[in-house]
C-alpha cells in the first residue's frame, strides 16, 4: 500500500498542524478532515484512552477502514521505515483488564497486523512508550519505537489494516 491509500492517519504525539480540530463526545480524541482523509490524535496519552470501547466508538463514529500511524523511531538508519513487527517493552497494553468485545476474540492473533508501505523499509521495532522514550540510546541493532505496539494493536484487534511509519510522505513522492 502507499501512504496515500490510508484513509485515516493517526498521530499519537498530536497533529503536525492545528486547524479545524473537533473532538468526540467524551473528549478522548481530536480529529480534523484533510485532503488526505481523517487525521486523529488522542487528547491525552493515558491508558484510559486505550480502552477498547473508546477505540470502537472512534472507529464507528468515523467509519474508519484502515489506519496509518505516525510513530517516533530511533534508529541508526535514517531511511523511511515502516514497522513489520514489534516487541512491546512499554509496560502498556490494551490486553490488560477486560478486553473481550462481542464478536471479537478474547485472545486475538497479532502475528500479522502490519501492512507494508511502498517506499518504506520494513523493520522490527522495540516499543518502549513515552515514559521510557527519552532514555533509549541510539543503537545499531535495535530500532526503538515510541508508540507502535501501544496504538497499532487496538486498531488491529478490530481487524483494521494498520501501518506504522516514521515519516510522512512529501508531496510529489
What pLDDT, in 10s, does the model give residues 30-69?
888 887 788 888 877 655 677 788 888 889 989 999 999 9
Q: What is the arithmetic mean of pLDDT over 16-39?
A: 74
Q: What's this model's pTM, rounded to 2 decimal places?
A: 0.88
Other C-beta atoms lying within 10 Å of the C-beta of residue 82: 27
What pLDDT, in 10s, does the model give residues 109-135?
788 899 999 999 999 999 998 888 888
pLDDT at residue 48, as a whole number:
63
Q: What structural domains does the chain harbor?
A: 3-165 (3.40.50.1580)
- Max CA-CA distance within the chain? 45
How far is residue 26 from each of residues 74, 93, 105, 137, 146, measured CA to CA in Å?
Answer: 33, 21, 26, 37, 25
Q: Are strands 81-88 and 37-42 parallel, antiparallel or unpaired?
A: unpaired
User: How open is the CA angle 11-151-93, to the nearest 5 degrees?
Assistant: 150
Amino acid at each position: 500500500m502507499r501512504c496515500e491509500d490510508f484513509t485515516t492517519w493517526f498521530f499519537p504525539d498530536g497533529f503536525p498542524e492545528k486547524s479545524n480540530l473537533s473532538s468526540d463526545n467524551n473528549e478522548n480524541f481530536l480529529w480534523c478532515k484533510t485532503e488526505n482523509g481523517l487525521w486523529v490524535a488522542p487528547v491525552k496519552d493515558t491508558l484510559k484512552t486505550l480502552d477498547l470501547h473508546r477505540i470502537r466508538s472512534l472507529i464507528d463514529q468515523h467509519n474508519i477502514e484502515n489506519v496509518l500511524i505516525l510513530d517516533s523511531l530511533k534508529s541508526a538508519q535514517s531511511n523511511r521505515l515502516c514497522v513489520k513487527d514489534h516487541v512491546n517493552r512499554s509496560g502498556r497494553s490494551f490486553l490488560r483488564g477486560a478486553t473481550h468485545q462481542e464478536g471479537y476474540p478474547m485472545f486475538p492473533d497479532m502475528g500479522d497486523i502490519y501492512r507494508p508501505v511502498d517506499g518504506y523499509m520494513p523493520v522490527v521495532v522495540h516499543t518502549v512508550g513515552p515514559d521510557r522514550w527519552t532514555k533509549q540510546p541510539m543503537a545499531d541493532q535495535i530500532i526503538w519505537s515510541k508508540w507502535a505496539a501501544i496504538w497499532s494493536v487496538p486498531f488491529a484487534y478490530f481487524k483494521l489494516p494498520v501501518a506504522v511509519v516514521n515519516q510522512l510522505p512529501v508531496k510529489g513522492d
